[in-house]
Amino acid sequence: MMAQPTREELEAWDRQHVWHAFTQMAHYEPLVIERAQGARLTDIHGRDFLDGVSSLWCNVHGHRHPHLDAALRAQLDKVAHTTSLGASNSTTITLAKQLVDRSPAGLEHVFFSSDGASSIEAALKIAFQYCQQSGEARERRTRFAALGCAYHGDTLGSVSVGGVDRFHTMFGPLLFDVVRVPAPEMHRLPPGITEALALEYYVDQANQVLAAHHEELAALIVEPIVQGAAGLLVHPPGYLQALRELTRKYDILLIADEVAVGFGRTGTLFACEQEQVTPDLLCMGKGLTGGYLPMAATLATDEVYEAFLGDHSEQKQFFHGHTYGGNPLAAAVALASLELFDQEQTLEHLPEKAARLAEHLARLAEHPHVGDVRQRGLIAGIELVEDRETQQPFPWQQRRGAQVCQHAMDQGVWLRPLGDVIVVMPPLSIRLDELDQIMQAVTHGICQATEAGKAVCE
Ligand SMILES: *Cc1c(COP(=O)(O)O)cnc(C)c1O
């Protein structure tokens, strides 16, 4: 056995050796979690924090849930890993059946991978290869359409369809060219466009782009209902369904990226359900294993799948795979997580929590430096601005969002912002009193990091 490192060693090694994602390591202050229980994280100094962002949007039923822990241990007594290349295992098969049964009707085939980004890569390549194998008319459909400020992951294909300038512009020379559909930004509507006109306006924009490019497009990819990393942009109701109609009209595949919104986040198991939409391809990740293990999946319709069937000599199989795709340990936890949705009536308890969150947000919306609050289910974004009237942002160098989250930590709540948008995305299992504590810490943080707005802060 290796000697147990001291707390000082852990923090020093963390700084020296662990290269953290999306983190300026020159200024990194170690936060080293030792254990967790429910929505509570405990660090190596014994400090407790509520997990206000579900360990980056993936925890569902809380940490160390006995049912999930037991499922993982039971699978360990069978087998930890088998390959999905030409072979299978009983746990992963059972999960595939459950995912098909619980996802929008018509999605029948499950391609497993390891992370959200890899589920996107798989979807893009499936769409591309589908077009190559679906007759001459479709062979010219080699490009993709995606929304403005979309986020689909950090591998090169998913970055290509992404549109968050801050993350993506620098890699431009490595990326393939994508057709952009303007994203609905309800809090910064163009002049003359009211909220009532927004749906029609943005659908018309999408129609114009697709009309101009449809002959070269294999697919349109969209984060349904809420665009996550863009700053939690909530689309106007009806937008997803309209995109479904447009993609049918122009014979373009629709890829729904449910990596962030899947598994109950927006109130239904999948966000597509809210507009009765079945996409041609649906990507899931983050919440699939309840936040326990890396696993992702790309679901496809019969029509897409059948283009890959043929004799060996035709070479039509999907030329793509990940070593750990469909890993049985991850599948066992994912299955147990789906069972918990039934046993604990996770979705049935959400409206009460979403309503409590909405109450807190309504109060915060009065703060002079809150430009917008937006919410769908247990996703909320609070956007800080320098000037409410003009929606003028704070100079980004001031890092107000990060300051808010720093102050929230003093109140025992851990959050991670998207620039100046404060993200609140607790585990779905969060209790109402915990939700109150999170929102009190957010309010405290905003009041500390901006000039106090009296009515809200006192
Ligand atoms: C997080 C995210 C991804 C990427 O998932 P990873 O597991 O981080 O690769 C893709 N799409 C959306 C919408 C996401 O929020």
List the chain pLDDT tens, one digit each, 458 residues.
788 999 999 999 999 999 999 999 999 999 999 999 999 999 999 999 999 999 999 999 999 999 999 999 999 999 999 999 999 999 999 999 999 999 999 999 999 999 999 999 999 999 999 999 999 989 999 999 999 999 999 999 999 999 988 777 889 999 999 999 999 999 999 999 999 999 999 999 999 999 999 999 999 999 999 999 999 999 999 999 999 999 999 999 999 999 999 999 999 999 999 999 999 999 999 999 999 999 999 999 999 999 999 999 999 999 999 999 999 999 999 999 999 999 999 999 999 999 999 999 999 999 999 999 999 999 999 999 999 989 999 999 999 999 999 999 999 999 999 999 999 999 999 999 999 999 999 999 999 999 766 667 76
223 lines ligand 1 (CB under 6 A): yes
* CA-CA-CA-CA torsion sign (355, 359, 364, 370): positive
Residues 156 and 297 in one domain: yes
Give exposure, 116-133, as e/b (b: 16+ Cβ within 10 Å): bbbbbbbbbbbbbbbbbb
Domain boundary among 343, 359, 385: 343
The full 3-state SS of 365-399, as one line of letters, equals CCCCCEEEEEEECCEEEEEECCECCCCECCCHHHC
Q: Is 152 near ligand 1, meaning CB less than 6 Å away?
A: yes
Token pair 């114009």 is found at 208
Number of domains in the chain: 2
Please tell me the distance from the alpha carbon of residue 284 to that of residue 223, in angstroms, as a whole number. Answer: 11
Q: Measured from the CA of 296, which atom of ligand 1 is nearest?
A: 7
Mark whether 122 and 269 lie in a shared domain.
yes
Q: In which element (H, E) is residue 147 found?
A: strand 143-147
Question: Residue 452's pLDDT is what?
Answer: 65
* Domain end (from 319, 343, 367): 343
Query: Which residue has a Cα nearest atom 10 of ligand 1?
Result: 152
* 428 and 337 share one domain: no
* Closest atom of ligand 1 to CA, residue 227: 13
Tell me, yes or no, whether 236 and 198 share the same domain. Answer: yes
Would you say the CB of residue 159 lies under 6 angstroms from ligand 1?
A: no
Which strands, in side-by-side order, build the sheet including 107-113? 107-113, 296-301, 281-284, 253-257, 217-222, 143-147, 179-181
Does residue 216 lie within any of the structural domains?
yes
2 domain-assigned:
no
How far is it, in rounded angstroms, from Cα 57 to Cα 69? 20
Residue 190 and residue 337 share a domain = yes
Answer with the one of 321, 343, 365 that is the final residue of a domain.
343
Whether 263 maps to a domain, the answer reads yes
User: Are residue 402 and residue 417 in the same domain, yes or no?
Assistant: yes
Same domain? 47 vs 74: no
Q: What residue numbers bound the domain in which 262 lies?
A: 69-343
Q: Report yes or no on 189 lying in a domain.
A: yes
State whether 333 and 353 are in the same domain: no
How far apart (Å, rounded) are the C-alpha atoms in residues 128 and 144?
9
Residue 31 CA to ligand 1 center (angstroms) comes to: 23
Residue located nearest, by CA, to atom 11 of ligand 1: 152
Partners of residue 38 on adjacent β-strands: 63
Name the token pair of 227: 């665009």
Is there an atom of ligand 1 within 6 Å of 258 CB? Answer: no
- Centre of ligand 1 from the C-alpha of residue 24, in Å: 20
- Whether residue 311 sits in one domain with residue 197: yes
Domain membership of residue 281 (yes or no) is yes
Distance CA 32, CA 252 (A): 46
CATH number of the domain to which 414 belongs? 3.90.1150.10
Helix (H) or strand (E) holding 177: none
Q: What separation in Å is there between the alpha carbon of 50 and the centre of ligand 1? A: 22
163 with 260, same domain: the answer is yes
Ligand 1 atom nearest the C-alpha of 286 is 7
Length of the chain: 458
Ligand 1 pocket residue status of 326, Cβ below 6 Å: no
- Domain assignment present for residue 1? The answer is no
Question: Hey, what amino acid is at 31?
Answer: L
Furthest-apart CA pair in the chain: how many Å?
74
Residue pair 380/234 in contact (Cβ under 8 Å)? The answer is no
Q: How far apart are the first and last CA of the chain?
A: 54
CB of 151 shorter than 6 A to ligand 1? yes
Same domain, 126 and 262: yes
Q: What is the CATH number of the domain that holds 178?
A: 3.40.640.10
pTM higher than 0.95 = yes
- Which atom of ligand 1 lies closest to the CA of 294? 7
Query: Rounded to an integer, what distance in angstroms lies between the CA atom of residue 458 and that of residue 452?
Result: 9
Give the helix, strand, coil percentages of the chain, each rounded to 5.
Answer: 45, 15, 40
Alpha-carbon Rg for the chain in angstroms: 22
- Is 131 found in the same domain as 237? yes
